[in-house]
Structure 1
């Protein structure tokens, strides 16, 4: 498997594909483009079923961790599903999580678009070892990987196990395991609101193995080349390669495959990305690191943790010098608040409050200590990990961008515009995409809107409403409409943004 250059993936926006080091997951893409079944077999060989004990041993030997965020050991997941299946006398179900609702990521969509059979081969290995009655592949309804996946299943017709494709909403929480299982089961596609392990009760109430697309692709590569060759590159603790999505300040944004242990500065150089004001690692539930730490970091879970970063789902976003760092963080925080399920206090009240407090810092009227106190009060109290992950993103930003925070607090701003470098989806034509606004020529400061909609509306020192610059969460839209309808002067508006 030789080094290769970059090719283009047909997504919007177009992003390059490349390797820095030996190609494992992307082997053959330069020669064949998208690998159909013939090309897949030519590059990786014919997959051979592996008995369950040997598959667990393979995953253990290569130290395979989940590539969707938490990095949970795949072998332990397998073992938990097996034990639950035996204890309850129910079949095990295997789910490929290809939803990738994180706006700054597209590595799983790249895999399903360019090497779909590699993902399917890994998933079939697991499903066959567990004797699953079917394989389920969940993808977002954004249309990016759908055609490639359906073509791959058609190419495999009659030669592989029954496979069902489930389309889920393209939302931030779509990839959360509990939300994904609920969606597959025909329930609302939101987290269950209580801790439920898919390995105990998942699809149809059966023990369920849920892992993301890259995890299964890595398993297929290891099965094809063997654990010894797999561990020839990477670190001893985390052998093999990882996929990274590099955007932000990068002149050549890319999904890039590289061995673990590679210096982060090398990947940034390849992508033409200066470290700028700081680098976001791990996505919107990850953490920011300073330019100095980015120059020292090595790409692995441990390597990022040593500098306060997070590998997460392999997201790397350097922030350029020409945008307002705090404004970028506030934009994303409003988006995260709107994407919550609204099932618990931290999501219903804490997340919108956090977004408003950040907006208050931008205008110089709020102390960062108020944000830190709110995050401390929310810690560990959410019905899912969304509030804690979002708090981690915000708290690290307050540390890394301390100079920017001080500029807004004490010097009337940083002087830079908010350029929208951090990607968030533009408001779709669906509930939850509306934004509140006030007609100041009519508003008399009655304050009724703040009583009806305290999650979003605050009153300033003069009793007039302050409205966050972000989409109204879908779960708050009925209350927002009630506030609009009850405004005595009809000054409050709820409408779609214009672009």
Structure 2
């Protein structure tokens, strides 16, 4: 594995380089290189490790930002009460197309992540460490190689998850560890209360890869040196994935509180028509607000944004903002687990409404339809996916108000949809409607209501519809029973 050629994002930093230290000289830090770059690591006991996490106010870096120390204390309380040793879980299965920071860490600096996980396993008396990675990602090779190089405080294993948006959710990873499909749990439950372990469920401490790496850095530096950069409330550095149209993303390490403008400048980018912060569960910012926005959870929240998993996307002026938003919304709807009403009905309806709004001749009711559908998708979901998609789309309608007016006027904005927002290559089946055959019977909408909706004249409102795995049964029924043989199930590639 030493210096193996891996297709990974380039790495940059605005001083200091902590998580990214040594990556200017090494493609990948194996254990000898890791020990040369990073000082020796002492092993604090349970109370000292908890005190350190509290002193630096370490939040989870996977999206929600839940305090690590509070999560750890809840896990240990369950372990003390039940006598079951905890399980340490590293979530490195990024399903977010605009985020690559955890993939970068596990592929290029895996021992820094394992340092943090092993610290907690040793201090908390864990029975096992599980590292979740996306199947086919560089971490699938890098992590097992790193585990084989080092001494471990308990058994450890790598778990490969299918590459999908839903599998990156923490509940999906826990289900996969338990041998279940890697989709969010239909009922919300705290991993700390017993997330893994089959019949005797074991308390589980789960955080994403960057969180564990930050814990290792803080243990080496101590709380005062760790807080020498960053803000008083959010000390230290943070990893951002800065997406660049037409080329690979950059993973950039910056002190928290750094203004976003200099970060974009360092990556050769302008804010363009708008800046998306927090990825596809995040929020759009006006260009002027984005330049001065501080890269911190509190700073972005004051502007209506969210740091989330640290994914940043700028939208060029040359593409249609509403078309880009509708394109991503359709993908997000197809990526849902389909376990609750907001995902099964709300997101497909919202995606369809956005597509109608992005059309050159949008219906007069298109904006009201889109806002109603997005509002209905919020709240009540089995996981945070519907709420995240709604935030992404609703903030787009606000930030791109000028473009929205052009579409509602009937003229359209005149710009093509260039695919500037990153999405993975199309996969899976999709339904196609043959207009030369369709006679408006409407049976397809009855058999597959999650996929096909009828317009005011009784015909399907879309001719091409992506089909999620949980929708395939309904799609095949619609194909097999269409009286006019007008519906077909096609496969990409």
Query: After TM superposition, is the score higher than 0.5?
Result: yes
Alignment correspondent of 2:490: 495
1:408 and 2:404 equivalent? no
Alignment correspondent of 2:24: 30
1:379 and 2:348 equivalent? no
Alignment correspondent of 1:64: 58
Q: 1:89 aligns with which of 83, 93, 117?
A: 83
Deviation digits for residues 294-329 of structure 1, max 9, x if unmatched?
A: 122011111111211110000000000111111111
Aligned positions of 1:259-270 closer than 5 A: 259-270=255-266
8 A Cα contact 2:94 2:100, kept in partner:
yes
Name the CA shift for 1:250/1:143 in 2 (closer, same or farther; >3 Å).
closer
Q: For residue 312 of structure 2, give the secondary structure of its aligned residue in structure 1.
A: strand
The separation in 1 between residues aligned to 2:285 and 2:184, in whole angstroms, is 29
Alignment correspondent of 1:4: none
Q: For residue 243 of structure 1, give the secondary structure of its aligned residue in structure 2.
A: strand
The separation in 2 between residues aligned to 1:118 and 1:186, in whole angstroms, is 28
CA shift, 1:252, in A, is 7.3
Q: 1:169 aligns with which of 149, 152, 162?
A: 162
CA shift, 1:446, in A, is 1.2
8 A Cα contact 2:239 2:254, kept in partner:
yes
The separation in 1 between residues aligned to 2:472 and 2:248, in whole angstroms, is 39
8 A Cα contact 2:231 2:256, kept in partner:
yes
Aligned positions of 1:49-128 closer than 5 A: 49-128=43-122
RMSD after superposition: 1.7
8 A Cα contact 2:443 2:482, kept in partner:
yes
CA shift, 1:160, in A, is 4.7
8 A Cα contact 2:128 2:155, kept in partner:
yes
Q: For residue 489 of structure 2, give the secondary structure of its aligned residue in structure 1.
A: strand
The separation in 1 between residues aligned to 2:187 and 2:241, in whole angstroms, is 31
The separation in 2 between residues aligned to 1:414 and 1:21, in whole angstroms, is 41
8 A Cα contact 1:246 1:254, kept in partner:
yes
Aligned positions of 1:151-166 closer than 5 A: 151-156=145-150, 158=151, 160-166=153-159
The separation in 2 between residues aligned to 1:385 and 1:298, in whole angstroms, is 25
The separation in 2 between residues aligned to 1:468 and 1:174, in whole angstroms, is 29
8 A Cα contact 2:192 2:205, kept in partner:
yes
CA shift, 1:469, in A, is 4.3
Alignment correspondent of 1:397: 396
8 A Cα contact 2:167 2:182, kept in partner:
yes
CA shift, 1:162, in A, is 1.7
CA shift, 1:249, in A, is 4.1
Aligned positions of 1:348-497 closer than 5 A: 348-363=344-359, 364-365=362-363, 366-428=365-427, 433-467=428-462, 469-497=464-492
Q: 1:184 aligns with which of 177, 193, 199?
A: 177
Extract unaligned runs of 5+ from structure 2: none
Q: For residue 31 of structure 1, give the secondary structure of its aligned residue in structure 2.
A: coil
The separation in 1 between residues aligned to 2:224 and 2:246, in whole angstroms, is 35
8 A Cα contact 2:246 2:420, kept in partner:
no
Q: Normalising by structure 2, what TM-score?
A: 0.95
CA shift, 1:377, in A, is 2.7
The separation in 2 between residues aligned to 1:367 and 1:283, in whole angstroms, is 25
The separation in 1 between residues aligned to 2:477 and 2:154, in whole angstroms, is 51
Alignment correspondent of 1:43: 37
Alignment correspondent of 1:210: 206
8 A Cα contact 1:356 1:468, kept in partner:
no
Deviation digits for residues 228-260 of structure 1, max 9, x if unmatched?
A: 111111111111000000014487731000101
The separation in 2 between residues aligned to 1:38 and 1:224, in whole angstroms, is 17
Aligned positions of 1:161-310 closer than 5 A: 161-204=154-197, 205-249=201-245, 253-310=249-306
Q: For residue 30 of structure 1, give the secondary structure of its aligned residue in structure 2.
A: coil
Q: Does 247-256 or 338-347 show the bigger shift? A: 247-256
8 A Cα contact 1:68 1:212, kept in partner:
yes
The separation in 2 between residues aligned to 1:32 and 1:191, in whole angstroms, is 36
Deviation digits for residues 450-488 of structure 1, max 9, x if unmatched?
A: 111122212223222122644211111110010000011
8 A Cα contact 1:250 1:272, kept in partner:
no
The separation in 2 between residues aligned to 1:172 and 1:468, in whole angstroms, is 25
Alignment correspondent of 1:3: none
8 A Cα contact 1:334 1:469, kept in partner:
no
Q: 2:131 aligns with which of 121, 132, 137?
A: 137
